Amino acid sequence: MSAKASKAAGTLRFEESARQIAANARYIAGGVNSNFRLGMAPGPLVFERGEGAYLVDVDGNRIIDYYCGMGATVLGHSPAGVIEAVRRQAERGILFAGQTPIEHEAAKLICEHVPSAERLRFGSSGSEVAQAAFRLARAATGRRTIVKFEGHYHGWFDNILWSTAPGLNAAGPADAPTPVPGSRGQDPKAGDGLSILGWNDLAALEQRLARGDVAAVMMEPAMCNQGAIAPAPGYLEGALAACRKHGALLIFDEVITGFRLARGGAQELFGVTPDLTILAKAIANGYPVAALAGRADLLDLFAEGVLHGGTFNAQPVAMAALVATQQALTPEHYGCSSARGQRLQDGIRTILAEAGIKAQVAGFPLMFHIAFGLDQPARNYRDVAAADKAACVRFALAMLKRGVRVLERGAWFVSSEHNEAVVDATLEAVHGAVREIG
């Protein structure tokens, strides 16, 4: 049966991916190079190429992709401008262990568009620049403690991989969460410098800050690692005011929200400017670039004894990708892409409601989330954790068999390449998937 016919019947098959993953495991642990690529049904997929909103796998399936590189490919999988910029820079050179004009251009673009970015430093991953943010905050304040929130993810390192997706049986009471490590082998003492709170609870945050020992509060300004949850009215403003009052810094993790919720990220959308911001993913449409940006007086500490290094920081080819990506993120891009993303989100909500399937479809035009089994929109991690995860997995598999790839945790990322025809095809697949799981 052809891939097209299989898609029509909702029976895409993935035997060659399974065979290649098994072969990979001879040399690559688990057959993949990130644990976040494990666990999905029917198994990890192997892709040959990307074309706009589509991925083509080794079984010949052409699949509409809403993973978007885990949120990174805001311009789709093959943007001509980015590809050409990368080609031109690669011909000039790949890595110099020195500075280049292109990194200045890249930094200027970020500082012009992200409200908190007076200065920045580039890195290679969100996990990495989160560590730089913690070091900077501790140097600036002379304090040790970092406040983080249940369900928020700031990287896979031992000192921050706590309570990112804890089981509620282990998480303790909502008003005094128990820190839960995220991995076997994690140093149990690495979390000693953390204080875990529930998000969107301003009173709890103010009470914790009043103890006077917090260097920084780190949060996703819109909770998108788990769900796609907006801050409660006044929450971000209150958090900033409380940090100011008690001498702590406010750090926004905009690895996911940056360049998706708005050109200037969630801080532009919600009108709250933090002290520091970490950026990655969509900053360069899939090239390995991250940044720590913020107040000039804080970032300048990196030239005054606070160590920040990295062989691949501001790698010229990646900087060229960043510049081309940022130049493409025009008001027209956000207007068109957001309209289609909102139509998709509204269409899914309508289809689920008409089928009598209880679910909350919530979030933002270019990043939203489906939580099955919830009566009300989620406000925090514990609300999201109560959703029917098994239903989400069944739905994702039913969609994949119909040629649409969505994350099993319920997240959907939309790119500029998800045009009207792609949205129509997606909604048709939703109709079929709902009939299958209903």
Percent of all residues in the chain with a pLDDT value above 90, rounded to a whole number: 95
In terms of pTM, does the model score above 0.75?
yes
Average pLDDT, integer, range 165-176 = 94
Q: Is the pLDDT assigned to residue 313 strictly greater than 60?
A: yes
Average pLDDT, integer, range 57-63 = 97
Name the residue type at position 53.
A
Residue position matching structure tokens 């005094």: 176
Crossing angle (nearest 10°) for helices 202-209 and 235-246: 10
pLDDT given at position 438: 80
pLDDT, mean over the chain = 95
Q: How confident is the model at residue 5 (pLDDT cuts 50, 70, 90)?
A: very low
pLDDT given at position 6: 42
Q: Give the residue among 363, 356, 348 at the shortest CA–CA distance from 396.
A: 348
Q: Is 139 exposed, middle or buried (0-12, 13-18, 19+ CB in 10 A)?
A: middle
Q: How confident is the model at residue 53 (pLDDT cuts 50, 70, 90)?
A: very high
Q: How many helices (H) and strands (E) does the chain have?
A: 15, 14
Q: State pLDDT tens for residues 225-270.
A: 999 999 999 999 999 999 999 999 999 999 999 999 999 999 999 9
Residues designated catalytic: 153, 253, 281
pLDDT given at position 8: 52
pLDDT given at position 40: 83
Which residues neighbour 281 within 8 Å (Cβ) at sequence distance 6 or greater? 69, 70, 71, 72, 126, 255, 256, 258, 259
Q: Which CATH class is domain 80-328?
A: alpha beta
Domain with CATH 3.40.640.10 in the chain: 80-328
